[in-house]
């Protein structure tokens, strides 16, 4: 069995697991995200300089895109905003989502960002390492939240895929995409999730670039 298949089976197994507290080391991201100041997506647009005009236009189009359900869209905003590691981006997208969906969605999206912060590092290493011995070793990492996210599991998988795209874990991308396709999620929805992730990340980079001027 190849490691990609094993990872998919691992995610499936966790869908039948009992709830468990998220891996403690990843709780820091969630605690940070709870302390949000006042920031909106419109505020972000006003801060994006002209050298990143395309980024600003993409951000505007994303806000009005209705390809995803509201829960999928705003949960993705939270997860990817946190994954961008930019305080202004995080505050704006968490603030936008807080006004549109209930607290359980916000918390689950924070969980997705947190657990992928762990999985994306570990499984990217397993995937890229020349030594294949690591592929047969148990990960020994808690990830029960994947099976018990507190929201629709398909939505959680979509957020996990988007964060995995930001963090560049090919093995995780394949595993989450496989779960989504088996759940009959369309290619358009999957592409939209990754497109949103790329826009959110580009906003963070544009703001960082503006700070160097």
Catalytic center residues: 169, 172
Q: How far is residue 139's CA from residue 160's CA, in Å, rounded to a whole number?
A: 18
Q: How far is residue 110's CA from residue 76's CA, in Å, rounded to a whole number?
A: 10
Q: Note the maximum CA span of the chain.
A: 51
Q: How far is residue 114's CA from residue 79's CA, in Å, rounded to a whole number?
A: 8
Q: How far is residue 176's CA from residue 10's CA, in Å, rounded to a whole number?
A: 11
Phi, psi of 169 (to 5 degrees): -100, 100
Residue 78 contacts residue 106 (beta carbons within 8 Å): yes
Residues 6+ apart with CB under 8 A from 16: 147
Phi, psi of 148 (to 5 degrees): -140, 65
Reading the block at residue 86, the tokens are 């930019």
Residue 30 contacts residue 110 (beta carbons within 8 Å): yes
Q: Which of 72, 34, 12 shows the shortest CA–CA distance to 195?
A: 72
């Amino acid at each position: 069995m190849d490691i990609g298949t094993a990872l998919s089976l691992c995610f499936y197994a966790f869908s039948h697991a009992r709830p468990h507290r998220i891996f403690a080391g990843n709780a820091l991201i969630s605690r940070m995200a709870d302390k949000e100041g006042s920031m909106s997506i419109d505020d972000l647009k006003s801060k994006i300089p002209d050298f990143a005009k395309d980024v600003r236009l993409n951000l505007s189009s994303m806000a009005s895109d209705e390809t995803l359900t509201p829960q999928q869209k705003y949960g993705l905003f939270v997860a990817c905003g946190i994954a961008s590691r930019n305080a202004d981006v995080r505050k704006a997208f968490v603030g936008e989502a807080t006004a549109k969906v209930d607290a359980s969605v916000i918390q689950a999206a924070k969980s997705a960002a947190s657990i992928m912060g762990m999985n994306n590092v570990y499984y990217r290493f397993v995937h890229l390492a020349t030594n294949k011995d690591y592929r047969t070793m148990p990960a020994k990492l808690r990830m029960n939240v994947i099976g018990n996210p507190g929201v629709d599991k398909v939505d959680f998988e979509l957020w996990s895929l988007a964060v995995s795209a930001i963090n560049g874990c090919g093995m995780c991308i394949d595993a989450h995409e496989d779960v989504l396709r088996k759940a009959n999620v369309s290619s358009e929805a999957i592409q939209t999730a990754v497109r949103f992730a790329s826009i959110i990340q580009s906003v963070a980079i544009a703001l960082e670039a503006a700070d160097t001027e």
